[in-house]
Amino acid sequence: MTFKATQIHGLIAATLIGSGALVFSGNALANDSSELEALRALVQELDQKIRVLDRKGEIAEAAAKDEKKKQPVIKANSGGFTIGSADGAHVFKLRGQLQFDNRSFFGDNDPDLKNDNVLRRIRPRFQGTLYNIFDFDINTDFAPDTTTVQDAYINARFLPEFQVQAGKFKSPFSLERLQSGNWIRFAERSYVADSISPNRDVGIQIHGNLLEKKLSYAAGVFNGIDDGRSGKQSGDANTDKEFAVRLFAEPFKGEDSVLAGLGFGIAGTWADQKDDAVADRYRTPGLQTFFEYHADTKSNGNKIRWSPQAYYYYGPFGLIAEYARSSTDVKRGINTATLDNDAWQIAGSWVLTGEDNNFAGITPKNNFDLKKGGWGAWEIAARYHELEVDKDAFDGGFAATANTTTNFGRNATEKAQSWSLGVNWYLNKNVKIATTYDHTSFDSAYANIKDREDEKALFTRFQVAY
């Protein structure tokens, strides 16, 4: 029941005319022109008052809009909770990741591998940006018995081409390691990422994107860590620093080409370390450690890793492949050697429901919703990967003492080969149910120790990430 100004002004005009008519008819009786003037003045006064009220409303509305522009912007959506300053220069995000796993092992392992329910990752994450330049990320994992700071770093984005990142974060090496744990296609990463490659380390790197993001680079100096390990946030566990470099190209990125989703690169690390314990740890897709060095095995010079790597995504199809070699100069007593351990993987996936496959995840076309009939996105995946330990690790006595009773030959395995099948159900962008079956066979390094028994592991994961 509100009148617009024009309606009101029309009403006033009608009133004026009506008043004139009344006066005109009255004029026949009294011819009172002064009354007409008074009415006109009254109408003009009322018209001004209405115009003033209308204008004050406009001004108040404009002021409210201006004020709104100064208010912080609060968002709560599938990307987490975000509070940003009105100008967008400062942003604070609360994100999180929760993974519940059921782990079942099949076969005749002796002793039996323990079937389990575990919380694989519990990671509330606080991220943000200050002054449009300085990003920070604090990612803590409450899943281990001892709470672990997974990531804690500052990234200064001086230019897209030149950024400086310092703190604890993923070492720029393995392609699959750099993929978010939310979006790996199998319950656990391959031997390349999980065993041969460094995980997170404390250091500083320069990195950036060149040529319209078709080429990315990273080069950094880190405390240095053993294969398959993460660095401690306080204190360096070895004597010298480790250098890491990675180049990755996507030459057809953004183009209308079947090769638009092709990316390939190479990464390497180098360190010169002496007399430190070599704590490399290799484990199966079922997260059972099958190789470690003897406690008396020490570093004795160079530790060099290198890894060619690639992925390819086209429509619902995705492929990732990488190789990594870790060469370590070691000594035990008077024995010295350079041990070359390597691993490779190739994994493909297909989104059955037709969504685009992507390194950074899959967004269902229709979210799971029984009422609306949406079933999310479904994906199948297959992988082959293997890891081979240098024979000299066993012949030279550098491997830990073989245990012939636990899992049939821990530290006696020279080669592990695994194939994996996965089914992933993305209920929406944030919720995933994933099942992976891994079958691993082992080759013993010793003629007198039989092969470790095959591992048959079925891991099922319920994940929420935002």
Partner 1 sequence: MKLSLSRLLLAGAFALAVPLSASAADVTLLNVSYDPTRELYTEFNKAFAAHWKSKTGDNVIIKQSHGGAGKQARAVIDGLQADVVTLALAYDIDAIHEKAKLIPKDWQTRLPNNSAPYTSTIVLLVRKGNPKQIKDWDDLAKPGVAVITPNPKTSGGARWNYLAAWGYELKRNGGDQEKAKDFVKKIFANVPVLDSGARGSTTTFVERGIGDVFISWENEAFLALKELGPDKFEIVVPSVSILAEPPVTLVDKVADKRKTRAVAQAYLEYLYSEEGQDLAGKHYYRPTNPKYVEKYAKQFPTVNLFKIDDVFGGWQKAQKEHFSDGGTFDQIYTNK
Q: Is 275 in the site for partner 1 (CB under 8 A)?
A: no
- Shortest separation between residue 274's beta carbon and partner 1, angstroms: 13
Q: Please state the closest distance from residue 56 (CB atom) to partner 1, in A.
A: 6
Indicate the residue type of 344: W
| Interface with partner 1, residue 43, by CB under 8 A | no
- Nearer residue to partner 1 within complex by CB, 54 or 135: 54
Q: What is the DSSP letter of 52?
A: H
Q: How far is the CB of 133 from partner 1 (least distance, A)?
A: 12
- For CA atoms 349, 350, 355, 357, the dihedral sign is positive
Q: Which is nearer to partner 1, 68 or 391 (CB)?
A: 68
> Could you tell me the smallest distance in angstroms from the CB atom of residue 423 to partner 1?
43
| Of positions 153, 191, 217, 222, contacts partner 1 by CB under 8 A | 217
Q: Which residue has the tokens 């030149």?
A: 162
Q: Is 161 in the site for partner 1 (CB under 8 A)?
A: yes
240 belongs to the binding site for partner 1 (CB under 8 A): yes
State the DSSP string of 195-263: IIS--EEEEEEEEEEETTTTEEEEEEEE----TT----SSS-SSSS-EEEEEEEE-TTTTSSSTTTTEE
Q: Which is nearer to partner 1, 61 or 369 (CB)?
A: 61
| 301 interacts with partner 1 by CB under 8 A | no
Please choose, out of 11-19, 122-130, 214-222, 246-254, the segment that lies near partner 1 by the rule CB under 8 A: 214-222
Q: Calculate the CA 36 to chain-centre distance.
A: 78
Asked if 110 interacts with partner 1 (CB under 8 A), we say no
CA distance 170 to 137: 12
Of 138, 206, 247, 449, the one binding partner 1 by CB under 8 A: 206
Return the sign of the alpha-carbon dihedral for residues 204, 210, 212, 215: negative
274 binds partner 1 (CB under 8 A): no
Q: Tell me the sheet residues that pair with 319.
A: 312, 348
- Return the residue of 38, 76, 159, 259 that touches partner 1, per CB under 8 A: 159
Is residue 241 close enough to count as binding partner 1 by CB under 8 A?
A: yes
**What's 96-146 look like in SS3?**
EEEEEEEEEEECCCCCCCCCEEEEEEEEEEEEEEECCCEEEEEEEECCCCC
Q: Minimum Å distance from CB 201 to partner 1?
A: 15
Q: Which two tokens stand for residue 287?
A: 């997260």
Region of residue 206 (left: phi > 0; alpha: psi -120 to 50; beta: else): beta
Nearest to residue 413, comparing CAs of 443, 448, 437? 443
Distance CA 384, CA 17 (A): 91
Residue 459 CA to residue 358 CA, distance in Å, equals 23
Bond from prior residue into 251 cis (ω within 30 degrees of 0): no
Q: What angle do CA 42, 48, 53 make, to 5 degrees?
A: 130
Which stretch in 22-30, 235-243, 256-264, 278-286 sits in contact with partner 1 by CB under 8 A? 235-243
51 binds partner 1 (CB under 8 A): yes
Pick the closer one to partner 1 by CB: 218 or 381.
218
In the complex, the smallest distance separating the C-beta of residue 349 from partner 1, rounded to whole angstroms, is 34
# residues contacting partner 1 (CB under 8 A): 27
CB contact set of 41 (below 8 Å; sequence gap of 6+): none
Q: Closest CB to partner 1 among 273 and 284?
A: 273
Does 222 participate in binding partner 1 (rule CB under 8 A)? no
User: Considering only residues 58-87, where is the footprint of partner 1 by CB under 8 A?
Assistant: 59, 62-63, 87
Binding mask 442-461 for partner 1 (x = CB under 8 A): --------------------
Residue 346 binding partner 1, by CB under 8 A: no
For binding to partner 1 (CB under 8 A), which residues are involved?
Answer: 48, 51-52, 54-56, 59, 62-63, 87, 158-159, 161-162, 206, 208, 210, 217, 219-221, 240-241, 243, 245, 270, 272
